[in-house]
């Protein structure tokens, strides 16, 4: 069948045009690629040859730029941590007794040797008076330091007799004794009320008793009195009934006691207030 005139020539021309455009496009792409490779080739080659050195140089450059552009405040100096150590507590000062008081105590203690006494009484007297001058120490019961109930319990312990440690427990034992019948070895108790026993001492005779006084900070001999400041005498307990029998130091109101001890008018021992 005959084709229309000019058809084959038109088709050939179209194909030739497309091929020419494609050839030009390929050439242009090849040329562009070569230019790109020519421009970036040395940099990529350097990175491939020395990747670590290149990375360090870039990092250093960034650091320098950051330091030059940023305005950072200088950090304050950090002080080393210091440990605070509490200052040691000062020892409780012992209130000094006057020369008259010391002489009175010594005369009173020495006078015991001039009156009749049993072996048990001598042992009690030696133990009780050996504590004179010992510093007051809360919860202590030795000759390095003692409190009131520690003093009384230790004296009886040295006699071979065990009594409770606390003052209120000692108040609950023994035989009750009135103030006008006190004898050597009796425990005398003080406090604001019978429900609150705050102090205990050892009756020695002739209206005197020994105790560990908190206010004077030592063991000493004082005059027995029904009232001592804001606390009062609550009662006495006799632990050993035979300890005071037959001794000249039996009663607080005995005239023979004063005569047997000689001149005791200078026994001006200060009464202790606020005892514990």
Q: 220 - beta bridge partners?
A: 211
Nearest to 271 by CA among 235, 223, 226: 223
Catalytic entry in 35, 54, 117, 199: 199
Residues 6+ apart with CB under 8 A from 138: 147
Is-contact 200 171, C-beta < 8 A? yes
Residue in this structure with the two tokens 């009750």, named with its chain if needed? 176
Is-contact 189 200, C-beta < 8 A? yes
Is-contact 59 53, C-beta < 8 A? no
Residues 6+ apart with CB under 8 A from 4: none
Active site residue 211: yes
Nearest to 256 by CA among 110, 115, 106, 124: 115
Catalytic entry in 8, 34, 50, 148: 148
d(CA 24, CA 26): 5
109 SS3 class: helix
Would you give the distance in Å from CA 212 to the centre of its chain? 25
How many residues in total does the chain contain?
Answer: 276
Active site amino acids:
148, 199, 211
């Amino acid at each position: 069948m005959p084709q229309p005139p000019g058809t084959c020539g038109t088709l050939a021309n179209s194909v030739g045009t497309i091929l020419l455009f494609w050839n030009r496009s390929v050439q242009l792409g090849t040329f562009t690629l070569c230019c790109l490779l020519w421009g970036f080739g040395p940099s990529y080659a350097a990175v491939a040859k020395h990747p670590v050195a290149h990375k360090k140089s870039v990092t250093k450059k960034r650091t320098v730029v950051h330091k030059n552009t940023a305005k950072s405040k200088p950090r304050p100096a950090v002080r080393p941590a210091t440990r605070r150590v509490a200052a040691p507590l000062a020892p409780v000062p012992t209130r000094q007794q006057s020369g008259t008081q010391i002489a009175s105590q010594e005369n009173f203690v020495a006078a015991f040797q001039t009156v009749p006494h049993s072996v048990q009484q001598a042992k009690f007297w030696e133990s009780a008076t050996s504590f004179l001058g010992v510093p007051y120490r809360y919860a202590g019961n030795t000759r390095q330091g003692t409190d009131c109930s520690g003093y009384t319990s230790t004296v009886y312990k040295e006699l071979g007799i065990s009594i409770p440690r606390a003052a209120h427990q000692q108040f609950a034992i023994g035989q009750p004794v009135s103030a006008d019948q006190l004898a050597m070895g009796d425990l005398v108790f003080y406090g604001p009320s019978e429900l609150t026993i705050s102090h205990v001492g050892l009756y020695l005779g002739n209206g005197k008793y020994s105790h560990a006084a908190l206010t004077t900070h030592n063991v000493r001999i004082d005059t027995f009195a029904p009232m001592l400041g804001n606390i009062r005498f609550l009662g006495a307990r006799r632990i050993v009934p035979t300890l005071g029998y037959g001794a000249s130091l039996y009663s607080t109101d005995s005239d023979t006691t004063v005569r047997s001890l000689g001149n005791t008018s200078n026994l001006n021992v200060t009464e202790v207030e606020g005892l514990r």
